[in-house]
Amino acid sequence: MSKSTLSRSSIISSKDKINDLVKLAGWVANKRDHGKVTFIDLRDETGLIQCVGINNKLKDLTIESVVEVFGKINKRPESLINQELETGEIELFVEDYQILNKSSELPISIEDDGLNINEESRLQYRYLDLRRSRLQKNLRLKSKLINAFRKELLDQDFVEIETPMLTKSTKEGARDFIVPSRLQTGKFYALPQSPQQYKQLLMAAGFEKYFQLARCIRDEDLRADRGFEFTQLDLEMSFVDQPTIMNFLTNLVIKVCQELGVKIKDENFPIFDYQEALTKFGADKFDLRSPEDKKEGVLAFAWVINFPFFKKVDKNDRAEASDSKSAWTFTHNPFSSPIPEHIAAHLEGNQTEKIIASQYDLVCNGFEVAGGSLRAHQAEVLRATFRTMGYSDEQIEENVGHMLKAFSLGTPPHGGIAFGIDRLLMLMAGEDNLRETMAFPMTAGGRTSVMDAPSAVSDEQLAELKLSVASNKKSS
Ligand code: ASP
């Protein structure tokens, strides 16, 4: 077969092609020039192979250039076998090669795990950073995780449905990111903190089992386990009670972990009362792993239930202070229902501190990896929640009138949950930072990877939106 008729094959498949002519393409991972002979390690997404060039072949290649090589796969002599390499028993003897893209010297090293390089540089050159094997593994595992969830849910007759990104505020306890409207100047959309209200409206629409891989956008203080943007596996089911849905979710998590070969400490996820968790662990997120479990990368899941529905507003928290108009705000989700035995008291609105929400949080290795609840599906229950938070009838109508309307037009009882996919992956991959699980995360200071945002917009854009910026001081 000649060079021009041969199509590109993967590096890993070369193992079965001894004495064959092949065409490979990839990146020059490294180069060893021994005068008469030049060796490179060629890398594609399937692996690495040693290529041998004589008569000045390969000499002009620079590290991380993209090349196509053509030649014969030879078995290496016994003494030159490289046990560390999957293709260590073979090498490619180069007959011809072509540089597809020449690389200049790299601004960051991509050879090790990269954890010693400062974050700004790693994110500025994220496309290089992502070439390192640790991040390649993390993102491939994320794809598997998402697909395992998707497969399980589709098998169980869930319907995957998208909901809007430009919408009205849904309260999840953070500030909204807002987007000015050009057509209705002076008005704003909010980017969704979660699809909470839309998924409930899908229950009203008769989709009894919904899920979505939803991007959620929350303006909150950034931490290692939190970014402005994250991905939730968001789901909702009609006609469920709390034990049924918790049981369903436990089985879902077990199946997904099995699919990915992740070990679970105890498949009977222990269930703790919120108060019990506080007494026992001093927090509602805790780590049940033994030192041995930690070494083995085991995941230890537990449920926490019986959370108080309301808490006193923290005046220093701007989002809390603006969500609530009284001394009280919700602990998790204003759309939750109180547990059935507390509904009467909730409607009366006089024992606020005692009301327990039908909230269930899934904890894993010290982190909250999912949170959900049974929802209010009767208008008066949702109205009572907002009344407790100090909203007048008019303010209730303005904020959630559309939900109250839906709840008067045949909305079934329902409940759901959302898993923090990035966080779950962080634990599965044994990473300490959420950013290690995302392709293009923001810096700890909220700047985007590679591209320079947030950035100023032109005067024309501002004029079109009828906006003016009060201060021109640039934040860095
Ligand atoms: N919407 C909730 C959240 O984002 C999750 C849920 O209750 O389904 O935390």
Ligand 1 pocket mutation pick from 309, 332, 375 by most atoms within 8 angstroms of CB = 332
Average predicted confidence (pLDDT) for the chain: 95
pLDDT, position 476:
43
CA-to-CA separations, 173 to 229, 314, 333, 375, in angstroms, rounded = 15, 11, 8, 17
* pLDDT surpassing 60 at residue 473: no
The DSSP H or E segment spanning 256 is helix 242-260
324-351 pLDDT tens trace: 899 999 999 999 999 999 999 999 998 9
Tell me, in angstroms, the distance from the centre of ligand 1 to residue 2's CA. Answer: 58
* pLDDT surpassing 50 at residue 202: yes
pLDDT, position 315:
87
Per the listing, tokens 């005692």 go with 354
CB 249 within 8 A of CB 363: no
**Residue 215: both structure tokens together:** 């991007």
How large is the average pLDDT for residues 448-471?
93
Rounded Cα gap, residues 419 and 234, in angstroms: 7
Tell me, in angstroms, the distance from the centre of ligand 1 to residue 359's CA. Answer: 10
How large is the average pLDDT for residues 5-16?
96
Using 50, 70 and 90 to split pLDDT, how confident is the model at 199? very high
Rounded Cα gap, residues 355 and 360, in angstroms: 15
CB 416 within 8 A of CB 236: yes
Rounded Cα gap, residues 150 and 160, in angstroms: 9
Which domains, ranges and CATH numbers included, belong to the chain?
Answer: 3-101 (2.40.50.140), 124-307+357-377+412-437 (3.30.930.10)
Alpha helix ranges (H) inside 337-420:
343-348, 379-388, 393-406
Rounded Cα gap, residues 467 and 307, in angstroms: 42
Please list, residue by residue across 145-176, b when 16 or more beta carbons sit within 10 angstroms of its beta carbon and e when fewer do. Answer: bbebbbebbeeeebeebebeeebebbbbbbbb
**Which of 222-236, 301-315, 352-366, 407-421 shows the lowest mean pLDDT across its residues?**
222-236
Euclidean distance between the first and final Cα of the chain, in Å?
58
* pLDDT surpassing 60 at residue 358: yes
Portion of the chain with pLDDT greater than 90, in percent: 91
Cis peptide before 454 (omega within 30 of 0): yes
Q: Is the CB of 372 under 6 A from ligand 1?
A: yes
Residue type present at position 76: R
Total Cβ atoms within 10 A of residue 233: 22
Using 50, 70 and 90 to split pLDDT, how confident is the model at 474? low
158-194 pLDDT tens trace: 999 999 999 988 778 889 999 999 999 999 999 999 9
Rounded Cα gap, residues 294 and 430, in angstroms: 9
Q: Is the CB of 371 under 6 A from ligand 1?
A: yes
Tell me, in angstroms, the distance from the centre of ligand 1 to residue 325's CA. Answer: 22
Per the listing, tokens 């390089």 go with 117
Total Cβ atoms within 10 A of residue 74: 14
Rounded Cα gap, residues 94 and 96, in angstroms: 6
* pLDDT surpassing 90 at residue 223: no
pLDDT, position 225:
65
CA-to-CA separations, 470 to 184, 285, 313, 341, 460, in angstroms, rounded = 21, 42, 30, 51, 16
CB 230 within 8 A of CB 206: no
* pLDDT surpassing 90 at residue 317: no
Atom of ligand 1 nearest to the CA of 216: 4
Q: Is the CB of 334 under 6 A from ligand 1?
A: no
For residue 256, which of 150, 365, 154 has the smallest C-alpha distance? 150
* pLDDT surpassing 60 at residue 471: yes
Rounded Cα gap, residues 124 and 142, in angstroms: 22
